[in-house]
Amino acid sequence: MTLPIAVIWRISRRDLTARIRGLRLLAICLFLGVATLAAIGSLTAGISEELSRRGQTILGGDIEIGIAQRQANAKELAAMQKAGPVSQTVRLRAMAIGTDSLLAELKAVDALYPHYGALRLKDTGAVNAPAKGEIYIGPTLSDRLDIKKGETVRFGEARFKVAGIIDEEPDRLGEGFTLGPVAIINIASLPETRLIQPGSMYESKYRIKLSAEQDVAAISKSFESRFPSAGWEITDRSNGAPGTRRFIERMGQFLTLVGLAALVIAGIGVGNGVGSYLASKSASIATLKVNGADSGTIFRIYMLQILAVAVVAISVGLAVGSVMPLAIGQVAGDILPVAPGYALHPLPLAVSALYGLLIAVAFALPPLARARTVPAAGLFRAIVEGNSRIDRRSLIWVIASIAAIVGIAVVTAREPLFSLAFVGAAFGLLLLLTGIAWLLRFIAMRMPRPKAPLLRLALANLHRPGAQTQALVVALGLGLTLFVTLAAIQTSINNEIKNSIPDRAPTFFILDIPRNGAARFTEMVKSADPAASVNMIPALRGTIIEFAGQRVDQLDELPDGAWILNGDRGLTYSGALPNGSEIVAGKWWPADYKGPPLISLEAEVAKTLGIGVGDSMTISLLGVEVPAKIASLRTVKWDNFGLNYAIVFSPGSLDTAPHNMVATVTVSKAAERVLAKSIPPVFPSASLIEVGEVTSQITILLTQMAQAIAAAASIAILAGIAVLVGAIAAARQSRIYDSVIMKMLGSSRGQILGAQALEYGILALTLGLLSLALGLAAAWYVVVQIFDFSFAPDPAILLLTLVGGAGLTFVLGIVGSLPILAARPAQALRSL
């Protein structure tokens, strides 16, 4: 008998209204997963949209041209001015000297700064560039050196009157990572500081303002073709902060995949919840079948119920997820690069909703298909016999839904292969746990029967008809694996900070030491601490413009991971192999080498660029092309805090180029305080970077990343707990049946509970070891492959986490069993 859809909906709605509680687990799991995905997608889209909207302000113009260690010549400047008004800024690191000294980012600006946005001071509002002899300083610089408005501060050989405290620097985000607070002077005051000397490390930026009719992309391209060897780094308003955008998009993709994994885990809870709900409806389904309802009618009645609850749960999840960026913005504060404004982002919300529907279909269909294909008599017997059959058509729908989930994850990803691998790993983990559940049931069935009654009963519970071993194994396995993964990631990141600083890490990095002052500098350090260690090498910056015959400006796109081609990079020359380097191909040149320029290149860079020993490489240094041949490849131990570069030239190649020296200095605590005060006045162009402060900033950044991962993964843990609760609920009817029979045979409540405790204990012990291996593998991938850190989890914390997670799941299982013990035999038998 096939009923009209209106009649089917009426039956479905009435039945759902009467017993909607049975589908609570379905609603909770879908809500958690969809809300997480919607929140992550909306936050990522909101930040990216805000970066695009504020592109001109962040960049400081429509086009920015960055030039390292020199200013534009007359020809270059004329070409820029032909395109539109040009604002020039010069940025360098320098020591701010007051009663104490502090490394700062000194920024010299002209009268046109800023083209877009406004430079604002506290208690003053929007201002133009400071007058000659005046300076605006950041609040951190004011606090650290205790300098107030109206007082003076020294940079290089010039003193400046503080004209205000900076409240908002419009192009701050576009400036990238800084090692100190900002200070802004008029560009006309820069020569008085005498900080710009031949070889000094600084960057000139030229921001061009275009009219609405001008084509930004075409003008940028014309600059590249007209000045291919000038060493320019050209950025336009469409991507004012490329590094920030790239980080946000990659982090957003990773967190989205973590959220999708949580939704897949929640899907198991959906299946358990639907299975438990349909088990409670077995009498109703059998009655409908006895009265002539065919399988299709049964399917449509209960599928409509499931879809109705799923749509409501997904809608609520979307609503919560869409407003979460506002809450995250309030809580995160300055952690986010820009505050995302409130806006509905249709694409991430639509993708999240589609994921939710597909998960609901994929995991709800199997229990629904089993219920609709069983005869009425079989439904009455199902509590004892169980049923694991699923018809072919339903199986096709399940496979199609899973394929659609994978397809969407790959198509919408920034890095499709990574997404495919991640989703494949998530489904692979589910299949692995399902296989382990089958293996546990098989082993429990084939094992000799123990003499101890409770142990015998616990083993029988693992393989008896209707046993929820598979759901329990998946729930416990996922939960424990996630606990171990998060603990291993967090402790590895903490240990990365701790272990990446050697026992004798340098006290200072010192930049821009004049070549003619190197001997005096060493003498000052040794006089403060005779046991001091000083390592000093030449420091230059250049841009790769050609490798292996390929011009960089003619490449359609840069090779993946070719960070060294983005702008200018540090380089040096040396007769001896730098400390922390090891030759892996070719050979190092003699210390007295005097031939044509040779290069020793870091091995990973060479692999990324697809080049090797004997290939050519041309570097633009201060606008001059320096062709060279690669003589060797070497590995570099970057975490030893020594002085090393990816590109090292042979001696004699760059000796005549203007440059300064860079040094690492290791001294005692007492000498550290002395040198921090004595070096800046004597060497005003030198910049002292305290290693402790740098590692502090890195620690904060890494901790924030770990917290973001933990926050997203915590949803997966909640979903895993929901799966466990669902598995317990799905087994409740059969557990009540067992409990009643055992009570009638004389078993006490303690014996029944003890048997279940042994069952959960066996599962927790078995899965604990498995989860340790799986969790460590997942954490290794995240730490090593994604963050490129060393993998060093803390064994003690891992053990505590594993024991705590296993204990939590064990307690949940026992607490879930308590209502079963309260079932009265007479009442339970009447309802079975």
Q: How confident is the model at residue 522 (pLDDT cuts 50, 70, 90)?
A: very high
Q: What is the pTM of this model?
A: 0.66
β-pair type (202-208, 63-68): antiparallel
pLDDT digits (tens, 9 = 90+) for 179-229: 788 999 999 999 999 888 777 788 899 999 988 888 888 898 888 888 887
- Determine the average pLDDT of the residues in 230-248: 71
Query: Residue 554 gets which letter from DSSP?
Result: G
CB 676 within 8 A of CB 98: no
Asked if 486 and 709 count as a contact pair (C-beta separation under 8 A), the reply is yes
State the pLDDT at residue 385: 47
Confidence of residue 562 (pLDDT cuts 50, 70, 90): confident
Above 90 in pLDDT, residue 55? no
Phi-psi region at 3: left, alpha or beta (left = phi > 0; alpha = psi -120 to 50): beta
185 burial level (CB within 10 Å; 0-12, 13-18, 19+): buried
Tens-place pLDDT, residues 285-303: 777 777 777 777 887 888 8
Helix pair 282-290, 242-280: axis angle to 10 deg:
60
| 779-788 mean pLDDT | 77
Least-confidence region, from 350-359, 673-682, 792-801, 812-821: 812-821
pLDDT beyond 90 at 830: no
pLDDT at 384: 44
Is the pLDDT confidence value at 582 over 80? Answer: yes
Can you tell me the distance from the alpha carbon of 813 to that of 480, in angstroms, rounded to the nearest whole number? Answer: 14
What average pLDDT score do residues 589-609 get?
Answer: 91
> How would you write 614-646 as a 3-class SS string?
CCEEEEEECCEEEEEEEEEEEEECHHHCCCCCC
Residues 722-741: what's their mean pLDDT? 67
pLDDT tier, 383 (very low <50, low <70, confident <90, very high otherwise) = very low
Residue 161: the pLDDT is: 94
Query: Which of 660, 649, 615 lies closest to 511 in space, CA to CA?
Result: 660
pLDDT (average), residues 113-125: 88
Distance, in Å, from the CA atom of 661 to the CA atom of 466, rounded to the nearest integer, reads 75
- pLDDT exceeds 90 at position 600: yes
Residue with tokens 């939710």: 356
Q: Beta-carbon neighbour count of residue 100 at 10 Å? A: 13
Q: What pLDDT is recorded for position 451?
A: 78
